[in-house]
Amino acid sequence: MAISRGTTARLAAGLAVLALAAAGCGGKNGGDELTDGTATGDPIIIGMDEDSTGPGASYSVIAGKTIRLAIQEINNKGGVLGRPLRLVVENDESDPTKVPAVLQKLQSQGAKFLLLQSGSAAIMQAKSVLSQVGLPAIAPTGVTATLVEPPNNELIYMLANTTSDWSQVYCGAFKAANINRLAILEDDTTTIAALNKALLSGLDCVSVVAREKGSINASDLSAQVARLKNAKPDAVLVTSVGGSFEVLAHNTLAAQMKETTRFSLASIGNQPDSWKLANPGALEGLIFIGSLSTDNPRTQELIKFLKEKNGQDYEVTAYDAQAWDAVQLVKLAIEKAGGPDDPKKLNEAIQSISGYQPHFGQPNFTISFSADKHLGADGLCGLALIEFGADNRPKGPWSTYQPPCEG
């Protein structure tokens, strides 16, 4: 029996509807199921610009989930000044052009404080918009120094060490491990090109003897690694946005340069799903720059809490910890300001926070703000050098060197 043209058209329409339905089923934002817990009174609205889709989704979703857990935990323990926190969420998809509308919308929904969980380009755009909406904001996982530098930085704050601190940490590590000749394997993304420009200009403590680039979608890096090997470096630094490129690089390095010490950026440590891509033992000995130190008792508490909430298999990352601390800082600021309704008081309250002990970094790491200091990290010890074990999972702090707080 032949299928008529009309039947075919109906089938096609039906399939299209099914596809649209499937698409609609996938995008539910779980953010707004928070309860007031034991808190009473008028809710305090917190606005979150969360990339639940788009380039920043890989880290924003992780942080967004922990922000929700932190808010719920605060509400369960009586709220802030007895009032519950409520979350309103919008998504700019890391697109700077959408930022003004997103922030305006959050303000119109009653937000008193903003959490900018988006890409750095979008947050840069947000800096100038914040003065228009007049609300203070924290970028929980931001690591680009310019985000909190003048101009337009009056209302924006960041917690963790920036990439400009990383060069100092690597140099300390290279000196401690007697590494003088460094080879670099990098991906071809613009993010890494910009990052390497800043990072390598600070690495005057070593001689860069080889530098190779591979496509972010590469299927093979054996040629690049063979060229690095020919340069006889003491160590190799892989700089990539993470994902399959990063693991392919380490699979290849483990096979072709197994005796050479390997370093990496933070991405590999914050992307537990990518560890499964590695060949057995391929990540062993890799040292990455992270922000979670299991020596920090507050980190241990947070890991325990998040595993209880998300399951024992959940891999806690720096994104989780920074998201958690961002919410705690919001709570602290509202309490110091005596309420959420005066943005000027709220901003001054943030600037009065000093010596806050966060859930990431080394045990003695602290966060402080002032009118001139919108980057919270006090010293380098918000960073930690972490080593991977034979099971392709981080096994703990690297014993050879850790960044000092006074650096």
CB within 8 Å of 176: residues ≥ 6 apart: 400, 401
Closest C-alpha to 369, from 323, 325, 310, 329: 329
Of the listed pieces 65-73, 75-83, 212-220, 283-291, which binds another protein according to CB under 8 A? 212-220
Q: Is 215 in the site for another protein (CB under 8 A)?
A: yes
Nearest-approach distance from CB 315 to another protein, in angstroms: 14
Considering beta carbons, is residue 208 or 277 the nearer one to another protein? Answer: 277
Considering beta carbons, is residue 22 or 151 the nearer one to another protein? Answer: 22
Of the listed pieces 85-93, 134-142, 217-225, 299-307, which binds another protein according to CB under 8 A? 217-225
350, 390 Cβ separation under 8 angstroms: no
Of the listed pieces 143-151, 154-162, 276-284, 299-307, which binds another protein according to CB under 8 A? 276-284
Q: Does residue 377 sit in helix, strand or coil? A: strand
Q: Is 7 in the site for another protein (CB under 8 A)?
A: no
Rounded distance between C-alpha atoms, residue 96 and residue 258, angstroms: 43
Nearest-approach distance from CB 378 to another protein, in angstroms: 35
Rounded distance between C-alpha atoms, residue 179 and residue 182, angstroms: 7
Of the listed pieces 16-24, 60-68, 152-160, 284-292, which binds another protein according to CB under 8 A? 16-24
Interface with another protein (CB under 8 A), residue from 105, 181, 213, 345: 213
**Contact string 247-266 vs another protein (x = CB under 8 A):** xx------xx----------
Nearest-approach distance from CB 62 to another protein, in angstroms: 12
Of the listed pieces 20-28, 125-133, 143-151, 349-357, which binds another protein according to CB under 8 A? 20-28
Nearest-approach distance from CB 250 to another protein, in angstroms: 12
Q: Is 340 in the site for another protein (CB under 8 A)?
A: no
Of the listed pieces 44-52, 193-201, 274-282, 395-403, which binds another protein according to CB under 8 A? 274-282
β-bridge mates for residue 386, sequence order: 288, 397
Q: Is 354 in the site for another protein (CB under 8 A)?
A: no
Interface with another protein (CB under 8 A), residue from 13, 176, 193, 223: 223
Of the listed pieces 73-81, 269-277, 311-319, 359-367, which binds another protein according to CB under 8 A? 269-277
Nearest-approach distance from CB 16 to another protein, in angstroms: 10
CA distance from start to end of the chain: 79
Nearest-approach distance from CB 209 to another protein, in angstroms: 14
Interface with another protein (CB under 8 A), residue from 60, 163, 196, 274: 274
Interface with another protein (CB under 8 A), residue from 61, 177, 205, 218: 218
CB atoms within 10 A of CB 274: 21
Q: Contacts with another protein in 158-177 (CB under 8 A)?
A: none
Q: Is 1 in the site for another protein (CB under 8 A)?
A: no
Q: Is 207 in the site for another protein (CB under 8 A)?
A: no
**Residues engaged in binding another protein (CB under 8 A):** 8, 19, 22-23, 26, 58, 188, 212-215, 217-220, 222-224, 226-227, 243-244, 247-248, 255-256, 273-274, 276-277, 279-280
